[in-house]
Amino acid sequence: MELEKKFSILYKQSLPTQFSNKAARDIWLRKVIEDLNRVLDTNTVQVPKLLNEIRRLKKDLTCTDQEA
């Protein structure tokens, strides 16, 4: 957590020097937000699939243990 806090502070300090104006910064931020939302959407879809796979594997493992 401490590392994330330090990174956040450094990141915020570097933003003003990275862009020539507020509009350029906003365009970049919108793209970052769009990219992160896309990753979030993908992960949100994957979680139920992975949970179902875990349940299936646990069930298979239990059945295999009982057979042995």
From the list 24, 23, 25, the residue with the least C-alpha distance to 11 is: 25
Domain assignment of residue 13, yes or no: no
What total of structural domains would you count in the chain? 1
1 three-class SS: coil
20 three-class SS: coil
| Range of the structural domain that residue 54 is part of | 20-67
pTM for the full model? 0.55
Domain assignment of residue 14, yes or no: no
pLDDT digits (tens, 9 = 90+) for 7-66: 777 677 666 678 888 899 899 889 999 999 999 999 999 999 999 999 999 999 888 777
Domain assignment of residue 10, yes or no: no
The enclosing H or E element of 24 equals: helix 22-67
Q: Residue 13: what residue type?
A: Q
